[in-house]
Amino acid sequence: MNTLSDDSQQLNDHLASALQTALDRCSAHPGFTAPRAGIILGSGLSGLADEIADPLRIDYADLPGFARATASGHRGQLIFGTLDEVPVVAMAGRMHRYEGHSDDRVTFPVRLMAALGTTTLIVSNAAGGLNPVLNVGDIVVINDHIDLAKKRDGLLANQRLSTLLDSAQATAFNDRILGTSPLHLYDGGLSQIALAAARAGDFTAILGTYIATLGPTYETRAEYRMMRSFGGDVVGMSTALEVRVAAVLGMRVLGLSMVSNVARPDQAQSTDHQEVLDAGRAAQSKLRKIVAATLRHLIG
């Protein structure tokens, strides 16, 4: 039995089924337009989903191949509609590796978004601040990441991912894997739009590096010191894998971290998930301004 081929075929079958299910539901919804932008809403940031006009909400349980989102504050819905006059599809809740999901399950929604024709992905998360200049509620516009939870069976994962691509995408993908062209995950133009929105809104946003860990436990003080030495500005438990797949599929990516707590490696402290949710709600207006500016750019 060829396990790679079998797994890839099953993944493709699930993707085709989920795509058909979504299209069937959307075609029956008045005024549906294919989404131009996808939005992944992280912990405490799901309130943005309530601003989507003419929403069509599909529970993850109704979409073949979708895993369940179990983290607190994650609704587990795919929401279609318009935001600032731009057709969007939003994930109200994401899947995490620490929930026991495979890489394929975590990134499956991104693949569905791409199959629906989405060309831009806005990824948000709540993260711990490593950079000492950051305060709770600040925004980090991600310009690169370090994935400490990356699986070591990279060749197998890469082969499985390459089977999902058309010939042009596969050529670009192989160039990246072989190192013949750089892997730029986050779109520099969208990052500059986000920073300009922060200046216009008079709130703090900086470019920075996101460090992804497996979770679900928060970091120790020694781990915080290590991550600072690596050059990390924020640390969280998501995003890196989703972004990598989105970039390989040719999507422009804007990554946004909301600082939910600040690491103080020389001082004992505790952090709980409720604090993350509270910080997210308090900072939501900042994220909203950045999203609005990004969407205005898309309809430019």
Q: Which residues are catalytic?
A: 43, 74, 96, 98-99, 126, 237-238, 261, 273
Distance, in Å, from the CA atom of 294 to the CA atom of 300, rounded to the nearest integer, reads: 10
Distance, in Å, from the CA atom of 232 to the CA atom of 140, rounded to the nearest integer, reads: 11
Distance, in Å, from the CA atom of 232 to the CA atom of 134, rounded to the nearest integer, reads: 12
Token look-up 């629906």 returns 116
Note whether 260 and 162 are within 8 A (CB): no
Task: Determine which helix (DSSP H) or strand (DSSP E) holds 34, and give its type and residue range.
Answer: none
* Residue 27 phi, psi (nearest 5): -65, -25
- Angstrom CA distances, 74 to 18, 78, 97, 154, stand at 20, 11, 15, 29
Task: Please work out, in degrees rounded to the nearest 5, the angle formed at the alpha carbon of residue 141 by the alpha carbons of 227 and 252.
Answer: 115
